Structure 1
Amino acid sequence: MPHDQLPTQAHAFLRQRHNELGIPGLARRWREVRAQIRANGTWRPTYDELAYAARVAWRNSGRCIGRLRWPSLIVRDRRHITTLHDVGRELAAHLDEATNGGRIRSVITVLAPATNAGPPPVRIISPQLARYAAWPSREGVLGDPANLALTRLATDLGWSGPTRRGPFDLLPWIAATADGVLHLLPTDPMHILEVPIQHPNHPWITDLGLRWPAVPVISNMTLTFGGLWFPAPFSGTFMASEIATRNLADEHRYHQLPAIITGLRLDDRDRLRTDKALLTLHEAVLYSFEAAGVSITDHHRESRAFARFAQHEEAADRVVVGDWSWLNSYPMTPQDPSWSRYYHPGQPTPALLRDPYCLALTAGHPKPGHEPSPRQRADVPPGRCRHTQPRKGGHVSTRTPVKAHRRLTRLAAAAVTLAAVTAGLVGVSGGPAQAAGCRAAPYSAKFGAADYFMQYDGVEVISYPKYPSYYRTTSQCRDIQVRNTGDGVDFGPFYACVNFYGRSGCNYWTYVPVGQWRNLATNVKDGTKFYVWVRIDMGKYYGFRAVGDW
């Protein structure tokens, strides 16, 4: 955030907290915070302020249906932690506290913040603390295909995986230090409780060898409030439908529906065979967690709880923020109380947001047919409802070996955008085209993104071209430059930067207005390999369109 906005944002947060809680002393506290900002360029919230911000940020999370429990969030203040070793230890402690012997608790761990001088000392690149590897082969992918990019990132950093690879190999944790270097963190599977999937009436489901982690820890989350942002891994409780209908059933995930249909001996002429298989998988997940003594919830219970949450918010004269398509995804029905009402699509602060930098390194490009279920964007009410084993000696740095580092950064720059993005990518040229002059057609490249279904609301980072291609400068232009070819209505302005081949980050973000050219890098040597990263706000526009010349 620009430094001149920090006092405004800090004061707005303090005023919000004091007004909502009805506590005195706002003027005195503001004088203290203002003095800190003048002296240090930032300010340090008290624990009570931090805890309030974290809980309200959960309350403001429009895609979460479990917000009735927001006051009970356990807030672990670890802002003093600045080393990789200590962060790894705190992640393990977070898992232990959240797991709680199976009685799952909602927990957030707040790490050292970013400053006006640079990024935080350590940020977590791994999207979750319990993710399964994806091992590609000629027969397909063994494991979770959603984690192909993350698995490649881990192996490029030196992780070899188990000697005998399987479909449920836990990935190591990946973190980045303030200098942009990526590291593997030692991961002890003893801290990750897993639940084997079984069914009381269908013992053959046990033979499928399915299992799933007990606790969903979203580790690339950031807590934003008062002009500050903190890396803040957050965890709640699984809803059975998330595991059964998405993680285990989706065709681009574990794709277990054919096996369930076969096991149930359902006739191909049965038009509801998929629904019956999904219900059986649901039953198996619920039964397995309950049999293991691990907390889990279901969509009917959470819909009723969310209705009570909405009533509490409106009674407190607060707007109910919500992304309808996420709150009512399959198998929610019109009979569930969360279905038949509207929600405000905005994002108030404090907020819990995914770190765009981490998403850019791990999510991978969407592929045709890998979008969320059509049910997630169907029947939306009228209106704009959007919304293991690291090397000995601890972490492994990308600085060694050099070859692995180069491979890593090539992958990291290309593997970007949200894993669940439904945006369709405009075609990207594989290499520069020859032209008579700079900023003249034919251009070196054309690229863009669009989300016509308005499924996603927020900032996204996308890299061009797709892995394993890259751009290369020519003698045609001295600089790397792009032109925004959007119409300013559906396709708006964006920020762009250059990620040079062999580096883990981009040079600097440049604002590109509609209809104008902007230089992203100047005096670049001919033959230089690079990627273009684009940052767009899908909450305001369908997407962007651009051409590049270099």
Structure 2
Amino acid sequence: MSIIQTNQLRPELQYVWEEAQSFVNSSYAELGHAADIIHQRLSSIIKELHETGTYTHTTEEIEYGAKVAWRNSNRCIGRLFWQSLTVFDARHLDTPEQYVEAMLTHIRFATNEGRIRPTVTIFRPKVPGEPAPMRILNYQLIRYAGYETDTGVIGDPHSVALTKQCELLGWVGKQSHFDLLPIVLQQAGEPPQWFEFPEQEIKQVKLRHPSYDWFADLELQWYGVPIVSNMRLEIGGISYEAAPFNGWYMGTEIGARNLADTDRYNMLPVIAERMGLDMSSLATLWKDRALVELNAAVLHSFKTDGVSIVDHHTAALQFAQFEKREQDQGRNVTGDWTWLIPPVSPATTHIFHKSYDNTNIRPNFFYMDETN
């Protein structure tokens, strides 16, 4: 077997080469490829790096790499299902219009009439040393607008900055609490552009409570599929800065954070008042009682409408299964404890009583401003 020549490789490509070796050696071994196949692939990668300043993943590499990136995502409690991820390869697309159409395909496939399918769409990668070919400026493909007014924010305070940017670009919202934001794309060297998905394509769930009829009068709702779009996917040293992905919601993400946080929709005081709770002191635990009922409403509404969702207790049990499977495969389970524990009743889960190694292993998803 010949020796792979790595001399005269440009310094900025050394990281890419090191990561490519690590990825190919580990993933090809997991996939059952022989040593000579691994050697051949590494030889072709180093040749391509010398000739072009980058290298192109095979279909098998990008599909398996994306799945392993989910498996390695320290903050995700839902990793038991990493092998079920559907990967859409959109690396051949160039224009914003093509990107939007691919995103709409992703939304339709992932939504699946409520039976949500974990999905990632992978667009063109960033060439080392060059700008990303396209950036998605949204936090998620589906998100509600936030409008600053003299009396407070209408909608989602988390979206105020992006909403202002959309308005500067010419978008006009309805000024309601649940206006769907457009998607904003920025091609390298070009100003941002906004596009709207047809509202009928977006699965949304109106919230009601199994016991409190008045809950529906609050006119709360949330979208069914959380498609994260502000993270880059790194596989073998290659960075895909447009790679929106989704699983399904854990109920507390909506009921204990999005609708409950004081810097989001801040609904706990409203719900507590409608419940007739004693709010004269924090010691009455009115916040806790309102929080439980808000989360009960989220789970009830999603399940009634046939939209996939998981409660935090079941999610923790599923994570325990994931831990066992990984240990059976001889792999160390990494995790960020502060993210893995649910925001409601964390001490009732096994995760709360454990510690985790928070080392970031690649392939993985990283926020845009993270370097590792």
Same fold (TM over 0.5): yes
Name the SS for the 1:142 alignment partner.
strand
Name the SS for the 1:195 alignment partner.
strand
Query: Residues 62-105 of structure 1: CA distance to partner in whole angstroms, max 9, x if unpaired?
Result: 11000000010011111001110000001111111110010011
Query: Residues 139-192 of structure 1: CA distance to partner in whole angstroms, max 9, x if unpaired?
Result: 111111111111111111111213xx2110111111111115221123322221
1:223 is matched with 233
Measure the CA separation in 1 of the matches of 2:86 and 2:136: 20
1:277 is matched with 290
2:263 is matched with 252
1:5 is matched with 15
Query: Residues 389-418 of structure 1: CA distance to partner in whole angstroms, max 9, x if unpaired?
Result: xxxxxxxxxxxxxxxxxxxxxxxxxxxxxx
1:181 corresponds to 2:191: yes
1:108 is matched with 120
Name the SS for the 2:262 alignment partner.
coil
RMSD: 1.5
1:343 is matched with 356
Q: Which amino acid aligns with 2:180?
A: L
Alignment of 1:441-460 (within 5 A): 458=370
**Length-normalised TM-score, structure 1:** 0.63
Deviation at 1:117, TM superposition (A): 5.1
1:46 corresponds to 2:58: yes
Measure the CA separation in 2 of the matches of 1:113 and 1:139: 43
Name the SS for the 1:43 alignment partner.
coil
Measure the CA separation in 2 of the matches of 1:338 and 1:68: 15
Q: Which amino acid aligns with 2:132?
A: P
- State which of 331, 352, 366 in structure 2 corresponds to 1:353: 366
Name the SS for the 2:249 alignment partner.
coil
Contact 1:304 1:338 survives alignment (8 Å): no
Q: Which runs of 5+ in 2 are unaligned?
A: 1-10
Measure the CA separation in 2 of the matches of 1:37 and 1:240: 45
Contact 1:218 1:235 survives alignment (8 Å): yes
Alignment of 1:203-222 (within 5 A): 203-222=213-232
1:266 is matched with 277
1:547 is matched with none
Moved over 4 A (4+): none
**Length-normalised TM-score, structure 2:** 0.93
Name the SS for the 1:339 alignment partner.
helix
Deviation at 1:337, TM superposition (A): 1.9
Measure the CA separation in 2 of the matches of 1:40 and 1:273: 62
Q: Which amino acid aligns with 2:58?
A: T
2:180 is matched with 170
**Which deviates more, 215-224 or 2-11?**
2-11
2:25 is matched with 15
Between structures 1 and 2, the one with greater strand share: 1
Measure the CA separation in 2 of the matches of 1:205 and 1:299: 22
Work out which structure has the larger RCO, using CA pairs closer than 8 Å and 6 or more positions apart in sequence. Answer: 2
1:242 corresponds to 2:253: yes
- The structure that has the greater radius of gyration is 1
- State which of 149, 167, 184 in structure 1 corresponds to 2:161: 149
Q: Which runs of 5+ in 1 are unaligned?
A: 357-457, 460-536, 538-550
User: Paired residues, what number?
Assistant: 357
Alignment of 1:101-500 (within 5 A): 101-116=113-128, 118-162=130-174, 165-179=175-189, 181-230=191-240, 231-269=242-280, 271-356=284-369, 458=370
Quote the sequence identity (%): 38
Q: Which amino acid aligns with 1:222?
A: R
